[in-house]
């Protein structure tokens, strides 16, 4: 049986960006609905770092505390489920869930995140977010000066090496096949004593996601504590594109400085529209989005 409810804003995605937007709007006395399916991208990560006052906490603990605080704002409601469709009629958005319920709102916020594409290496997905990591600002301190790898090639490998060399002097590049580095780029690795191994990787040997060694197709192994990798990704939710939201050349939702998409009334925040993939940056973008949405509602009503 379908129900139909009307809100100032519906937020699709109830992780850090979505919760932060909900808090801003709740404090502005706006009627808000947060729809969340409960699958945050960092659900496998044991600890969150580089977030003032929350450094070292488990991501779920941060989310649970945020949820408890936001529930104090009585104009914010939560719906556990998956949004499967969103349509626009004049200035109203209708969002349908997989359970057949429909919710309407004047504004729509996508805080839906992205979905990483893991390399076809046995054991890699199990290590992702634990010892196979993407951001030294989030995880580098914990593996500082340990035996560390980079899984990359070409220009991207050089960029990563320059950055991660700040955290460890025991660094190896694994190109997972023939190197595409130029002679000049290769010389930079040699200058900084960063070995380049081109042998294809067959498996990550690990214990509960903690990397022990890389196994190669030629039967050899190398011990390792952590490996950096920048995965390809796709949008976690297809609804922004279905509504006509444009993506940029990197596959992120294109937004203005006010978190607006190209579709009037639709905003985006968090990983789906921001290269800075961290809890702190997601919270920041969500807080700004809530304020910008409230300001747009005020402009329309006053």
Specify whether 111 is located in the same domain as 236: yes
Residues 106 and 126 in one domain: no
In a shared domain, residues 20 and 151: no
**pTM of this prediction?**
0.92
How many structural domains comprise the chain?
2
| Residue-level pLDDT at 277 | 83
Question: 236 with 219, same domain?
Answer: no
Give the pLDDT confidence score for residue 43 in this predicted structure.
Answer: 64
Are 10 and 109 in the same domain?
Answer: yes
Same domain, 29 and 109: yes
Which of 210, 228, 246 is at the close of a domain? 228
Same domain, 84 and 216: no
The Cα–Cα gap between 270 and 275 comes to: 9
Domain boundary among 228, 248, 269: 228
CATH (domain of 284)? 3.50.50.60
Q: What are phi and psi of 76, to 5 degrees?
A: -105, 125
According to the model, what pLDDT value does residue 44 have? 64
CB 36 within 8 A of CB 18: yes
Same domain flag for 190 and 167: yes
Q: Are residues 148 and 236 in the same domain?
A: no
pLDDT of residue 297: 98
Q: Which pLDDT belongs to residue 3?
A: 43
**For the purposes of burial, counting CB atoms within 10 Å of the CB of 74, is it exposed (0-12), middle (13-18) or buried (19 or more)?**
exposed
Q: Are residues 125 and 208 in the same domain?
A: yes
Question: Whole-angstrom Cα distance, residue 189 to residue 145?
Answer: 17
Final residue before a domain boundary, out of 209, 228, 247: 228
Domain around 281 = 4-116+232-301
Per-residue pLDDT of the chain (302 residues; tens, 9 = 90+): 344 589 999 999 999 999 999 999 999 999 999 999 887 666 667 777 878 777 878 888 888 899 999 999 999 999 999 999 999 998 899 999 999 999 999 999 999 999 999 999 999 999 999 999 999 999 999 999 999 999 999 999 999 999 999 999 999 999 999 999 999 999 999 999 999 999 999 999 999 999 999 999 999 999 999 999 999 999 999 999 999 999 999 999 999 999 999 999 999 999 999 988 888 999 999 999 999 999 999 999 99
Give the pLDDT confidence score for residue 41 in this predicted structure: 63
Ramachandran quadrant class, 18 (left: phi over 0; alpha: psi -120 to 50; beta: rest):
alpha
Q: Do 130 and 256 share a domain, yes or no?
A: no
Specify whether 180 is located in the same domain as 142: yes
């Amino acid at each position: 049986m379908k129900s139909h409810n009307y809100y100032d804003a519906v937020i699709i995605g109830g992780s850090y960006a979505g919760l932060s937007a909900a808090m801003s709007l709740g404090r502005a006395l706006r009627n808000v609905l947060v729809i969340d399916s409960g699958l945050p991208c960092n659900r496998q990560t044991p600890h969150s770092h580089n977030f003032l006052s929350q450094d070292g906490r488990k991501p779920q603990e941060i989310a649970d505390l945020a949820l408890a605080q936001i529930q104090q704002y009585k104009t914010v409601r939560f719906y556990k489920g998956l949004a499967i469709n969103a349509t626009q009629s004049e200035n109203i958005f209708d969002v349908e869930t997989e359970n057949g319920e429909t919710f309407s709102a004047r504004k729509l916020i996508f805080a839906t995140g992205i979905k990483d594409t893991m390399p076809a290496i046995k054991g890699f997905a199990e290590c992702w977010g634990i010892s196979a990591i993407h951001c030294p600002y989030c995880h580098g301190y914990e593996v500082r000066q340990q035996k560390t790898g980079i899984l990359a090639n070409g220009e991207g490998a050089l960029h990563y090496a320059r950055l991660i060399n700040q955290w460890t002097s025991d660094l190896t590049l694994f190109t997972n096949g023939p190197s595409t580095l130029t002679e000049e780029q290769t010389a930079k690795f040699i200058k900084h004593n960063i070995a380049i191994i081109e042998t294809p990787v067959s498996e990550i040997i690990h214990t509960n996601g903690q990397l022990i060694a890389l196994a190669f197709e030629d039967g050899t192994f190398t011990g390792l504590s952590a490996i950096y990798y920048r995965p390809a990704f796709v949008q976690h939710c297809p609804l922004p594109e279905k509504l006509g939201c444009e993506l940029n050349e990197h596959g992120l939702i294109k937004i203005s400085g006010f978190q607006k998409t190209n579709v009037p009334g639709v905003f985006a925040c968090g990983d789906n529209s921001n290269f800075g993939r961290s809890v702190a940056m997601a919270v920041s973008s969500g807080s700004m989005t809530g304020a910008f949405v409230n300001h747009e509602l005020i402009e329309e009503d006053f």
